Amino acid sequence: MEQGGKAALGWAARDASGHLSPYSFSRRVLRDGDVTIKVLFCGICHADLHVIKNEWHNAMYPVVPGHEIVGVVTDIGPSVTKFKAGDTVGVGYYVDSCRSCDSCSNGYESYCPKLVPTSNGVDSSDGSITKGGFSDVILVSQDYVVRVPESLSPDRAAPLLCAGITVFSPMVRFGLNAPGKHLGVVGLGGLGHMAVKFGKAFGMKVTVISTSPGKREEALERLGADAFLVSRDPEQMKAAASTMDGIFDTVSAEHPVAPLLELLKPMGQMVILGVPVKPLEVPAFSLVAGGKRMAGSPGGGIGECQAMLDFAGEHGITADVEVVAMDYVNTAMQRLERNDVRYRFVVDVAGSNLGAAA
How far is C-alpha 36 from the geometric centre of its chain's CA atoms? 22
Q: How far is the CB of 58 from Zn ion (least distance, A)?
A: 14
Cβ proximity to Zn ion, 132 vs 154, nearer residue: 132
Q: 3-class DSSP state for residue 358?
A: coil
Q: Tell me which stretch binds ligand NAP (CB under 6 A): 82-90, 149-157, 188-196, 304-312.
A: 188-196
Given a contact cutoff of 8 angstroms between Cβ atoms, the answer to whether 337 and 49 are in contact is yes
Nearer to ligand NAP, 185 or 326 (CB): 185
Q: ∠ at Cα 273 (268, 277), nearest 5°?
A: 125
Per CB under 6 A, the list member of 120, 269, 297, 352 interacting with ligand NAP is 297
By CB neighbour count within 10 A (0-12 exposed, 13-18 middle, 19+ buried), where does 101 fall? middle
The single residue among 42, 70, 152, 251 that binds ligand NAP, judged by CB under 6 A, is: 251
**Cis before 234? omega within 30:** no
97 touches which of Zn ion, ligand NAP, none (CB within 5 to 8 A by kind)?
Zn ion
Number of Cβ atoms within 10 Å of the Cβ of 310: 13
Residue 298 binds ligand NAP, judged by CB under 6 A: yes
CB of 203 vs Zn ion, minimal distance in Å: 26
Distance CA 161, CA 309 (A): 8
Q: Are 273 and 191 in contact (CB under 8 A)?
A: yes
Q: Which of 21, 54, 212, 236 binds ligand NAP (CB under 6 A)?
A: 212
Binding site for Zn ion (CB under 5 A): 45, 47, 97-98, 101, 104, 112, 162
Answer whether 203's CB lies under 8 Å from 180's CB. yes
CB distance 98 to 114 below 8 Å: yes
Least gap, CB of 71 to ligand NAP (angstroms): 20
Q: By CB under 6 A, is residue 250 in contact with ligand NAP? A: yes
Q: Give percent helix, percent strand, percent coil of the chain, each to the nearest 5.
A: 30, 25, 45
Least Å distance, CB 232 to ligand NAP, is: 9
| Interatomic CA distance for residues 239 and 138, integer angstroms | 50
The distance of closest approach from Cβ of residue 320 to ligand NAP in the complex, given in angstroms and rounded to an integer, is 11
Q: Would you say 92 or 268 has its CB closer to ligand NAP? A: 92
Nearer to ligand NAP among residue 19 and residue 232 (C-beta): 232
Q: Which does 263 bind (CB under 5 to 8 A by kind): ligand NAP, Zn ion, none?
A: none
88-91/146-147 β-pairing = antiparallel
33 vs 276, beta carbon nearer ligand NAP? 276
28 forms part of the interface with ligand NAP (CB under 6 A) = no
- Cite the beta strand spans of 160-300 per DSSP E: 182-186, 205-210, 227-230, 244-249, 264-272, 293-296
DSSP structural state of residue 128: P
160 is an interface residue for ligand NAP by CB under 6 A: no
- The string of DSSP letters for 325-341 reads -GGGHHHHHHHHHTT--
- The reply to whether 184 sits near ligand NAP by the rule CB under 6 A is no
Q: Does residue 227 touch ligand NAP according to CB under 6 A?
A: no
Q: How far is the CB of 290 from ligand NAP (least distance, A)?
A: 23
Which residue in the set 53, 182, 197, 215 belongs to the binding site for ligand NAP (CB under 6 A)? 215
Contact partner at residue 104 from ligand NAP, Zn ion, none, CB < 5 to 8 Å by partner kind: Zn ion
Query: What distance in Å separates the CA atoms of residue 1 and residue 122, rounded to the nearest whole number?
Result: 11
Contact 128, 28 (CB under 8 A): yes
Residues forming a β-bridge with 140: 35
Query: According to CB under 6 A, which one of 66, 274, 301, 313 is a site residue for ligand NAP?
Result: 274
Regarding 255 and contact with ligand NAP (CB under 6 A), the answer is yes
Which residues contact ligand NAP (rule: CB under 6 A)?
45-47, 50, 162-163, 166, 187-192, 210-212, 215, 250-253, 255, 273-275, 297-299, 336, 339
